[in-house]
Structure 1
Amino acid sequence: MAASLNQVDQNLKDLMVFHDVARALTSSLDLDTILRSIMQQMELFFQPETWSLLIVDEARNDLFYAVAVGHAESELRDMRIPMSEGFAGWVADTGETLIVPEASLDPRATSLPENRISFQVRSALCLPIRSRMRTIGVLQLFNCRFETLTPYTVSFLHVLCDFAAIAIENAKSVQRIQELTITDDCTGIYNVRHLYSQLEAELARSRRFNVPFSLIFIDLDHFKLINDEYGHLAGSRLLAEFAQALKLTVRRVDIVFRYGGDEFMVLLPETTKEEAREAAIRLYSEMRDKSFDIGVGSTVKIKSSYGVATFPEDGAFIHELIRTADSMLYMVKETSRDGVAVAGEGITHASPSFLVR
Structure 2
Amino acid sequence: MEAEELLRELKRNVDELHAYNEIGKALTSTLDIREVLRLIMEKVGELLQPTNWSLLLVDEITGELFFEVAVGPGSESLQGLRIGAEEGIAGWVASRKESLLVADVSQDERFASRFDEATRFSTSSIAAVPMRSKGRTLGVIELVNGRGQPPFDEADVRVLGSIADFAAIALENARNYRRVEELTIIDEHTGLYNARHLLRSLDAEILRARRFGHDLSLVFFDLDRFKQVNDRHGHQAGSAILRECGEELLQVIRPADIAIRYGGDEFVCLLPETTSAEALAFAERVRERFKARAFLESEAGGLRLTASFGVASFPEHAADADELLRRADLAMYRVKGSTRDGIQVG
**Shorter-chain TM-score: which interval?**
0.7 to 0.9
Gaps of at least 5 residues in structure 2 are: none
Asked if 1:223 is matched to 2:233, the reply is no
Given that residues 32 and 67 in structure 1 are in contact (C-alpha distance below 8 angstroms), is that contact kept between their aligned partners in structure 2? no
CA offset digits 1:30-55 (Å, max 9, x no partner): 22332343344444443211111111
Asked if 1:269 is matched to 2:272, the reply is yes
Asked if 1:243 is matched to 2:246, the reply is yes
Listed as ranges, the matches of 1:82-231 within 5 Å are 82-143=84-145, 149-150=153-154, 152-231=155-234
| Partner residue in 1 for 2:342 | 339
C-alpha root-mean-square deviation of aligned residues, in Å? 2.8
Q: How many residues align?
A: 342
Asked if 1:301 is matched to 2:291, the reply is no
Q: CA deviation at 1:227?
A: 1.9
Given that residues 235 and 294 in structure 1 are in contact (C-alpha distance below 8 angstroms), is that contact kept between their aligned partners in structure 2? no
| Partner residue in 1 for 2:315 | 312
Equivalent-residue separation in structure 1 for 2:322 and 2:270 (angstroms): 14
Match of 1:129, SS state, is strand
Q: CA deviation at 1:290?
A: 1.2
Match of 2:189, SS state, is coil
| Partner residue in 1 for 2:25 | 23
Residues 270 and 24 of structure 1: CA distance in aligned 2, closer, same or farther (over 3 Å): closer
Match of 1:87, SS state, is helix
Listed as ranges, the matches of 1:26-41 within 5 Å are 26-41=28-43
Equivalent-residue separation in structure 1 for 2:27 and 2:63 (angstroms): 27
Match of 1:67, SS state, is strand
Match of 2:35, SS state, is helix
Q: CA deviation at 1:323?
A: 1.8
Q: CA deviation at 1:136?
A: 0.9
Equivalent-residue separation in structure 1 for 2:10 and 2:112 (angstroms): 43
Residues 221 and 175 of structure 1: CA distance in aligned 2, closer, same or farther (over 3 Å): same
CA offset digits 1:4-39 (Å, max 9, x no partner): 976777655544443333223223322233234334
Equivalent-residue separation in structure 1 for 2:106 and 2:152 (angstroms): 21
| Partner residue in 2 for 1:67 | 69
CA offset digits 1:215-258 (Å, max 9, x no partner): 21110112122222332222112112101211212344432111
Residues 107 and 298 of structure 1: CA distance in aligned 2, closer, same or farther (over 3 Å): farther
Q: Give the AA of the match of 1:277.
A: L
Match of 1:51, SS state, is strand
Equivalent-residue separation in structure 2 for 1:46 and 1:109 (angstroms): 21
Moved more, 285-294 or 295-304: 295-304
CA offset digits 1:273-332 (Å, max 9, x no partner): 222222222211122101234778984332111112222232222222222211221122
Residues 178 and 294 of structure 1: CA distance in aligned 2, closer, same or farther (over 3 Å): farther
**TM-score computed with the length of structure 1 as normaliser:** 0.85
Q: Give the AA of the match of 1:129.
A: M
Match of 1:166, SS state, is helix
**TM-score computed with the length of structure 2 as normaliser:** 0.87
